[in-house]
Amino acid sequence: GAVVSQHPSRVICKSGTSVKIECRSLDFQATTMFWYRQFPKQSLMLMATSNEGSKATYEQGVEKDKFLINHASLTLSTLTVTSAHPEDSSFYICSAGQGSQPQHFGDGTRLSIL
């Protein structure tokens, strides 16, 4: 069964809306969570690395104020797309890691901004 739950799976909203995406590790404590963005028929682009209890580390070119990441507990990280615009439409995927085990990925959130 799924070990990482991502919610919601799909969001359609108007331009200017802020959208929160949740990523939960279901049966393990994830010391690190990652947020990726995937454009149609393209690879995953790492947006940021989130460590529990500390500020996220953003990749070059990713706007920190646009994509707010919170990792308040060992089982939950959230990505908030603030004041979303059509160019933010994409497939967002989280993953969670623990110790020596490989990362587990959520099923992704398809965000469509009208």
Give CA separation, 61 vs 45, 48, 52, 81, in Å.
11, 11, 23, 15
Q: Is 84 in the site for other proteins (CB under 8 A)?
A: no
Binding mask 85-114 for other proteins (x = CB under 8 A): --------x-xxxxxxxxxxxxxx-x----
How far apart, in whole angstroms, are the C-alpha atoms of residue 1 and residue 103?
15
What is the x/- site pattern for other proteins, positions 35-54, by CB under 8 A? ------xxxx-x--x-----
Residue 102 is encoded by which pair of tokens?
Answer: 């490989």
81 binds other proteins (CB under 8 A): no
- What three-state secondary structure class fits 8? coil
Residues interacting with other proteins, by CB under 8 A? 4, 6, 30-32, 34, 41-44, 46, 49, 93, 95-108, 110
